[in-house]
Structure 1
Amino acid sequence: MYNKFVVIDLETTGNIPKKGDRIIQFAAVVIENGVITEQFSSLINPQKSIPIFIEELTGINDEMVKNAPVFSEIAEKVITLLDGAYFVAHNVLFDLSFLQEELVSAGYEGFFGPVLDTVEMARIMYPTADGYKLSDLAEQENLNHDRPHQADSDAEVTAELLLIFLRRLAALPLVTIRQLLPLSGGLKSDLQQLLDEILEEFDPMDEGIPEHTELVKDLVVKKTAKTIDMEQEQTNLSYPEHENDKINLLNKGFKSFEKRSGQFQMMDAVYRALHYERHSLIEAGTGVGKSLGYLLPAAYFCKENKSGPIVISTYTIQLQEQLLKKEIPLLASILPFKIHAVLLKGRSHYISLEKFHQSLSDENDNYDTTLTKMQILVWLTETETGDKDELNLSSGGHIFWEKIKSSPFGFSFNQEYSDRDFYLKAKKEAEYADIIITNHSLVLSDIKEKAAILPNYDYVILDEGHHFEKTATQFFGASLDYLAIRLLIGRFGLEDQPQLFHDMEDIIQMISEGQEPLLHPFQLNQLVMDLTYEVDEFFNLIALFAKKKLGAAPRFYRSKVRFSQSDGEREVRALVISAERLAFLLKDLQIAIKERLKWIMKSKTPLTTSQQTTLEEIQTFLNDVKELRDTVMNCFIREKNDVKWIEIDMRSPQNITTFVAQPAVVADQLQEQFFLVKKAAVITSASLTVNDSFHFILNELGLDPVLTETMMVSSPFNYQKQVKLLIPEELPEINTVTLDEFVIALTEQIISIAEAAKGRMLVLFTAYDMLKKTYDLVKESGFLNDFVLMAQGISSGSPARLTRNFKRYDKAILFGTSSFWEGVDIPGEDLSCLCIVRLPFSAPDEPLTEAKSKLILERGGNPFTEYSLPEAVLRFKQGFGRLIRTETDRGIVVVFDKRIITNQYGKSFLASIPPVSINKGRIDELARIIRSWV
């Protein structure tokens, strides 16, 4: 067995050794028998100039390497170090390619031993990690990494990580290691050899199942607690009416409880709404303690009245996780009785153990699929939920998930898998839960499925409630996305491709009894090809229509184009005819596959588990085809009064094109199908009022203003002392200059503010194109080279992941659009400056805004004051709320849009946020204020 590992890290003049890039620093850490035995590092003279950006990244300059050895002088030492060892590096192919080039140039053969990539190992051993950069992993393991991008420091940290990985690998169940072994042959590195060596040290008959895990068929999964006792415990309690009683309760959960009268007001309002069965709107300012403000009275009411579960619905996954991991445990420590809370998501979020187990025998996996399978094998030994959102999957991993996700169709029934089905377990627990945490989409799906998803419930609390109307608009609408449809058809494939079609024909061949299915395979193959052609033709016509409407030079790459079948244009007629053909072809495909499935099911030939799984996947595919056909029919053929538009990226119209249809107003549907059905709904958020009025949100949701209780609970923070609002006066109005001219002026001001604020700055945009242009120009300017710049849609990672990375750096600037206007929590000194580029009005020609405005005009109203302004004010309130998250926070808000003080309607924005100190002036004057404040 190889007991020696040499961890290598290099700093280089560039990325391509074949084009003359050279090593400027070499570092190696030797590990033998689990112990670091030697370390070696040296600067290297590359015999060429070090580029400026490399110097800035590494801190290594020409002067430092002037008297350093050339690589050939240390080549023999490198060869000696690597003798009989694994070559280990973080992204091993990069370091290995450079080293091989240098060794050959120095007259040596190079290295031909086994290699290990710690990026690959990290992805497998930490399937739920936020990121796999060396700095991310070092922080996760509390390793000191004080000099990133210097080879000796990077090599030391990589070596320490390798030791952790080796210990974790050896501690895995042997069954899991044996399943990882054949998959590891498809990796970039020689993990297969390492796994073989680990297995050699164990008895081949030993299953090695750790105590915290159990074997389900052939998969090792983490043991989970049994579903809770179904008996409702008898409680004799009542909701604490007096303030002192609440304080005493809360003191149990807080070491030092600070009295929050606003939180008590909210608790009482929530309890009253549930008790008297009235709908209620509660705006709770930042710092009120909103989550506990509704959780405590909900728990009391649920136990006191045996009311069945209370559903808590959120818009974001982040808030769901916060409720389950932070707020519910806190609540449990406070209450004098037990409370059972569960998180329930849609079925597709949960893994099917049976499907995954079957997938392990598939051959010809690509790299992403292989790596994802290995991640999941390790994850199953850790997860209690089986929820995909825990995993850090690649884009290819997400595609593979579609193959192994839980589905309602089953041709096989294995009791062992059924007993450990994650989705069924979550649903079972929800039936006996006091509180069910879920999301707005699932609440609305439950309406559509006639209460088939959630257990029967009468009481609901909608947190982030300002999103409920928009979620409902999307839910009651439909969309057709080009890539999603092509992926769907690709899942079925053609007869000669290793997809569902091919697998189905193999089953038919095996059980053939002299009868032929109605359609010959050749004809079905032709049908799939015709369908693929029609999908391409359909989206080509969509792109042609959009291009005609946008003209030769659209202002933004990403655009929305309103679509109306009443236009009567040639392109519209052609598109509708294509949609009809598409619907017919989808129907033909459904019929052909259904006939084949019936034929297979009539056969008495026993099917293998793999074949049964294939049939289940085909049934899932059929269901998706039916949904697609219904969507095509609803968008183009059935008479519906939806607003229709095309979303397109003109840089890649063939790939990035979506057709959307949504109702302009959902108030009546929500009233009839939701609010009239539920006994009490509490809608809460920090942004429900405009100018201290709930009128806008009441109207959007379809709630009766007479029958609905409303309450505003102000933030306890002292915004006058904690916030300064600054308004630069030099920036031109965007409508008076070109986009490029505006971005140049904006960039100059952002640079000035960043230098004054010293980083920790969030810049909010209303349009992605402006964000990208500004980010690129700031980066190209070179003025902020010592700042870490991150941008949504450019830097990798979800908004939550970008936020976590942002907090790690003192001098960081984060550029964000829509999802960063809310739901992002950056307390304390991690965020000290918030910039709002434009007041967040929806564009007047944005399809839904246009449609809503038309309806308001038709009834004699004012679209701007009744819709555009209040919608923008609510978004502004959300954006403003990103800055002050605790009572000790201090910060600057910069609003680049002068309309907030020059236009009459600007008062509505200022009146809807807490009173703050306002300064306006030239950027140099404002920079002085910022420097004195931060």
Structure 2
Amino acid sequence: MLENKYVVIDLETTGNLPKKGDRIIQFAAVVIENGIITEMFSSLVNPKKQIPAFIEELTGIDDDMVKDAPAFSEIAPRIEKILEGAYFVAHNVLFDLSFLQEELQLAGFEGFYGSVIDTVEMARILYPTADGYKLSDLAEKENLQHDRPHQADSDAEVTAELFLILLNKLASMPITTLRQLSQLSGGLKSDLQQLLDELLVEKDPTEEVLPEGIEVFKGIALKKETAKQAVYREKEPLHYPEKEAEKIKIIKQAFENFENRTGQLTMMDGIYQAFQKQEHLLIEAGTGVGKSIGYLLPSVFYSKQKGQPVVVSTHTIQLQEQIIKKEIPMLEKMLPFKFTSVLLKGRSHYLSLVKFNETLLDENDNYDTTLTKMQILVWLMETDTGDKDELNLASGGSFYWNRIKNDPAVFIQSYEWLEKDFYLRAKKTAEEANLIITNHSLLLSDLSANGSILPNFDFCIIDEGHHFEKVASQFFGFSLDYLSTRMLLSQFGHYEQKQLFYQFEELLKLSGSKAEALAHTSKINKLATDLFYEMDEFFKLIALYAKKMGSNKKGFTRAKVRFSDEDHGKEKSALVHSAERFAFLLKDLHLAMMDRLALIENKKGKLTQEHRNIIEELISFLHDLEELKNTVQSCFILKTNFVKWMEVDYRSPQNVTTFLAKPASVAVALREKFFNKKKSVVVTSATLTVNHSFEYIKKEIGLPSASTMIIPSPFEYGDHVKLLISEDLPEINSVSLDDYVVTITEHIISLSEATKGRMLILFTAYDMLKKTYELIKESGFLSDFAIFAQGITSGSRTRLTRNFQRYDKAILLGTSSFWEGVDIPGEDLSCLIIVRLPFSPPDEPFTEAKCQYIIQQGGNAFSDYSLPEAILRFKQGFGRLIRTASDRGIVIVFDKRIITTKYGNAFLKSIPAVPVKKGNIDELVEIINEWL
């Protein structure tokens, strides 16, 4: 395989459409022979047309640079010679190949018709857990020098180096995996199958030595389970370090440059005492306290002393991963004894190996399914957990995951598979663990499953505790959306589609079950047809109701519309009748298939594993079908005290339609079902208090009698932060949205030039963010700045943040999720702008209903809910700026209400004490210039 000639190509072009006249402006080729780079060729190309401004910005190549360059036809003979007898390799090969073909043919040459390899496709398969597959992401992953992204010579060289790494990774794989990849690779876009087959010819099965840590089990290569020392939670005469010096000595074991954090030690003692006294505790711990070690250390000591597990629950996956990958290894360095920990997620997060094995060689897979299978084969040699969250699946891969996820099956798998089951492995480890790391959703699921998910526990830490109430309201509520409903029913399919229904009917025939007393296949097929029709009607009616009842403001594409049980209009009546028909059809299909399932029950001894899998899949489907029916009934037919609303995108109302129902308050449910049943729960976060009081959070989560503790941040905010308030902006509600956007855009441009970028701008509404971004770009004043905007610039929050950090002069516009969890330490962020105080819109359905509920209970909706909720969010936003002790910067608030209203002071009192300056834009710019 390495003896082949490979030519790695990269092009820069005037656009994406060669058939519409776009041309090459730079060509680069890197030749690889016998596994090493033997030749490099690159040239600028005169496209005989103007280079568009955005291409110039992207590549740094302008008209002057190419005016004396050769035309493509002049370098075409050399290109054709280079490509002779080679594999054509590129990062996104179809783009480069189609462009080059067009140019070669225009120059009178035949073009390239040999084998092609796509390094994007290869990387997707061989790096199944990578964050992204852009060339710059992969170069960073492999520590490859990539100085000039979007210049063909630099890109081609990096792609060539990456390709050699990928080839070596492929060559090191077990023969069994290579065979399986080869069988699947016929469905790929490139000719990877040729490489795989060449590799298989080169490898001698009789001499194969498996890579270290890999075993082949039932024909699948897996990472061997690491032999953990079985340390059960025995009671040991451990001494908890009461004295400060003892605690410092322990913590120093893991930190080379240890800074004594008094607050962290106070937190440890507070938690240990709460566990000892068996009482609930609320702790607000400011940024930099070292919260995770602050609760993990006393939890491990207590667990080891008492022989009882401690559950640690977080809101975000990122924090769970951080605890497992960073904090737990630190604890292991610190402590003089061994302890065990496990990350436990919901069952559907884990792969079912037996299902994957059975579906591995199914025929007629689409591209995404084929790619996902290949990714999983590689991942199984790397994963300890089998947790889907590790994978970076193609969008269509999630559909295939639903077929192979772990779920409670009636037909027990063979014992050999059970010993490798990832979910059972995680549960078994949890039974013996001192620390069980999980998330709020699973913690709440355990309540409704009567403790059958998590091992028995009485002591719990809830981190990111400001989210606990919101997750609980989702958990105790319901959600229905079009895409997942359609995906579920498509799994069953019509008989002609040869999905689950067809497979089960064929199984009935094979098993010789007497089905005379049952509904005929055609009758169930008709039922499935009716169900699909009614589902479409039902979601159309939701969208129609939303359109009729919603304000549909001009220029707004998304809407949230409250659904009231008191409404008696014809749109509501039609929707409820459709929901009733939909629920009846779901019930009829469920009953009909349960009858058919009962026929097979007494035949199970004679069935093959493949047949058992079909039955397992049907049982899982019927369980989901029953849940769907209960959700439809709870939302539309049964009487509940839930807040109900729908979220619709008017551009694609059927595809982007969700119906939600939540209780207005979960305090009583949480108190009775959770807090009253546990001996000690510690709720912690950087933002639990409003104006130094815990009353709001206590009331929201149903914990009136808990002890409390405020541990301030050790950072010197007074010396490191200035808070500036703009006095020359209009009151936010006194002008139109467009006028307000014009004014703040002018301010942002002036402030950006003063801070030289490094600026995060937080909005409360996406529409305002979008309009501001467009106006900044249109103005042209910040053309030398890299500007990223959530929902406009592609990529996840993590990727946008990472890209923002790569540029010196960068501006990042964010809303919703950017108010918290974004961590940009050091000089990468030195200015934070808060555009408006983060009150939820009063007409937002849940806010409106929550306010009504508070008034009915005799409270004040503004001071009891709207204000404290906005203050907590403001504190979260404020916390984005200072992430380490040496950070310094400026917070600018555009919303004058912070100084013109009585309640504005509550926002200022709830954040650390910092100097506050007011002034017009010129005065603020002057302060910034002096300060930064």
TM norm structure 2: 0.98
Among 836, 839, 842, the residue aligned to 1:841 = 839
Equivalents in 1 of 2:551, 2:840: separation in Å? 21
1:678–1:98 Cα change, 3 Å: same
Q: Are 2:315 and 2:439, in contact at CA under 8 Å, matched by a contact in 1?
A: yes
Equivalents in 1 of 2:344, 2:552: separation in Å? 48
How far 1:394 sits from its partner (Å)? 1.8
Equivalents in 1 of 2:458, 2:718: separation in Å? 42
Equivalents in 2 of 1:226, 1:417: separation in Å? 18
1:426–1:38 Cα change, 3 Å: same
Equivalents in 1 of 2:40, 2:538: separation in Å? 62
Alignment-mate amino acid for residue 674 of structure 2: F
Equivalents in 2 of 1:841, 1:123: separation in Å? 42
Q: Which runs of 5+ in 1 are unaligned?
A: none
Between 1:131-140 and 1:592-601, the stretch displaced more is 592-601
The aligned counterpart of 1:591 is 591
Give secondary structure in 1 for the equivalent of 2:333: helix
The aligned counterpart of 1:644 is 644
Equivalents in 2 of 1:554, 1:510: separation in Å? 60
The aligned counterpart of 1:109 is 110
The aligned counterpart of 1:519 is 519
1:896 matches 2:894: yes
1:20 matches 2:18: no
Equivalents in 2 of 1:826, 1:184: separation in Å? 41
Give secondary structure in 2 for the equivalent of 1:734: coil
Q: Are 2:233 and 2:434, in contact at CA under 8 Å, matched by a contact in 1?
A: no
What percentage of aligned pairs have identical amino acids? 64
Q: Are 1:320 and 1:437, in contact at CA under 8 Å, matched by a contact in 2?
A: yes
Paired residues, number = 931
How far 1:539 sits from its partner (Å)? 1.7
How far 1:207 sits from its partner (Å)? 5.7
The aligned counterpart of 2:459 is 459
Q: Which runs of 5+ in 2 are unaligned?
A: none
Residues 207-266 of structure 1 show CA distances to partners (whole Å, capped at 9, x for unaligned) of 653221111211111012245425445532221111111111122222232211111111
How far 1:174 sits from its partner (Å)? 1.3
Map 1:282-681 → 2, pairs under 5 A:
282-306=283-307, 308-513=308-513, 515-516=515-516, 518-551=518-551, 553=553, 556-603=556-603, 606-681=606-681
Residues 329-379 of structure 1 show CA distances to partners (whole Å, capped at 9, x for unaligned) of 111111121121110000111111111111111111111111111111111
Among 907, 910, 918, the residue aligned to 2:908 = 910
1:29 matches 2:30: yes
Residues 561-620 of structure 1 show CA distances to partners (whole Å, capped at 9, x for unaligned) of 111122222222222222111111110010111112122333368333222212111111
Q: Are 2:354 and 2:413, in contact at CA under 8 Å, matched by a contact in 1?
A: no
Q: Are 1:644 and 1:661, in contact at CA under 8 Å, matched by a contact in 2?
A: yes
Give secondary structure in 2 for the equivalent of 1:437: strand
The aligned counterpart of 2:244 is 243
Equivalents in 1 of 2:797, 2:856: separation in Å? 40
Give secondary structure in 2 for the equivalent of 1:253: coil
Equivalents in 1 of 2:235, 2:633: separation in Å? 53
Give secondary structure in 1 for the equivalent of 2:733: helix
Alignment-mate amino acid for residue 91 of structure 2: H
Between 1:847-856 and 1:332-341, the stretch displaced more is 847-856
Alignment-mate amino acid for residue 464 of structure 1: E
Equivalents in 1 of 2:388, 2:657: separation in Å? 27
Alignment-mate amino acid for residue 781 of structure 1: S
Equivalents in 2 of 1:607, 1:752: separation in Å? 74
Q: Are 2:231 and 2:339, in contact at CA under 8 Å, matched by a contact in 1?
A: no
How far 1:299 sits from its partner (Å)? 1.1
The aligned counterpart of 2:136 is 135
1:793–1:403 Cα change, 3 Å: farther
Equivalents in 1 of 2:341, 2:491: separation in Å? 37
How far 1:551 sits from its partner (Å)? 4.1
Equivalents in 2 of 1:812, 1:237: separation in Å? 52
1:188–1:931 Cα change, 3 Å: farther
Give secondary structure in 2 for the equivalent of 1:56: helix
Equivalents in 1 of 2:412, 2:770: separation in Å? 50
Alignment-mate amino acid for residue 203 of structure 1: D
The aligned counterpart of 1:95 is 96
Q: Are 2:586 and 2:629, in contact at CA under 8 Å, matched by a contact in 1?
A: yes
1:206–1:771 Cα change, 3 Å: farther
How far 1:635 sits from its partner (Å)? 1.2
The aligned counterpart of 1:266 is 267
1:183–1:932 Cα change, 3 Å: farther
Give secondary structure in 2 for the equivalent of 1:565: coil
The aligned counterpart of 1:930 is 928
Equivalents in 1 of 2:493, 2:358: separation in Å? 20
1:590–1:513 Cα change, 3 Å: closer
Give secondary structure in 1 for the equivalent of 2:396: helix
Map 1:47-62 → 2, pairs under 5 A:
47-62=48-63
How far 1:775 sits from its partner (Å)? 2.4
Between 1:455-464 and 1:292-301, the stretch displaced more is 292-301
Equivalents in 2 of 1:135, 1:341: separation in Å? 35
Alignment-mate amino acid for residue 187 of structure 2: G
Alignment-mate amino acid for residue 342 of structure 2: V
1:828–1:195 Cα change, 3 Å: same
1:745 matches 2:746: no
Residues 110-158 of structure 1 show CA distances to partners (whole Å, capped at 9, x for unaligned) of 0011011111111111111111111111111111111111111111101
The aligned counterpart of 2:849 is 851
How far 1:512 sits from its partner (Å)? 3.4
The aligned counterpart of 1:197 is 198
How far 1:165 sits from its partner (Å)? 0.5
Equivalents in 2 of 1:65, 1:859: separation in Å? 74
Equivalents in 2 of 1:605, 1:513: separation in Å? 14
Equivalents in 1 of 2:207, 2:657: separation in Å? 54
Equivalents in 1 of 2:366, 2:929: separation in Å? 53
Equivalents in 1 of 2:476, 2:131: separation in Å? 34
Between 1:8-17 and 1:915-924, the stretch displaced more is 915-924
1:567–1:513 Cα change, 3 Å: closer
1:80 matches 2:81: yes
Equivalents in 1 of 2:803, 2:611: separation in Å? 45
Equivalents in 1 of 2:195, 2:169: separation in Å? 13
How far 1:528 sits from its partner (Å)? 1.1
Map 1:716-727 → 2, pairs under 5 A:
716-727=714-725
How far 1:819 sits from its partner (Å)? 1.4
Alignment-mate amino acid for residue 315 of structure 1: H
Alignment-mate amino acid for residue 588 of structure 1: D
How far 1:692 sits from its partner (Å)? 0.7
How far 1:893 sits from its partner (Å)? 1.2
1:745–1:509 Cα change, 3 Å: farther
1:10 matches 2:11: yes
Give secondary structure in 2 for the equivalent of 1:46: coil
Map 1:800-815 → 2, pairs under 5 A:
800-815=798-813
Q: Are 2:184 and 2:361, in contact at CA under 8 Å, matched by a contact in 1?
A: no
Alignment-mate amino acid for residue 595 of structure 2: E
Residues 418-443 of structure 1 show CA distances to partners (whole Å, capped at 9, x for unaligned) of 11111100000000000100000000
Give secondary structure in 2 for the equivalent of 1:79: helix
Give secondary structure in 2 for the equivalent of 1:730: coil
Equivalents in 1 of 2:349, 2:694: separation in Å? 35
The aligned counterpart of 2:46 is 45
The aligned counterpart of 1:779 is 777
1:662–1:554 Cα change, 3 Å: farther
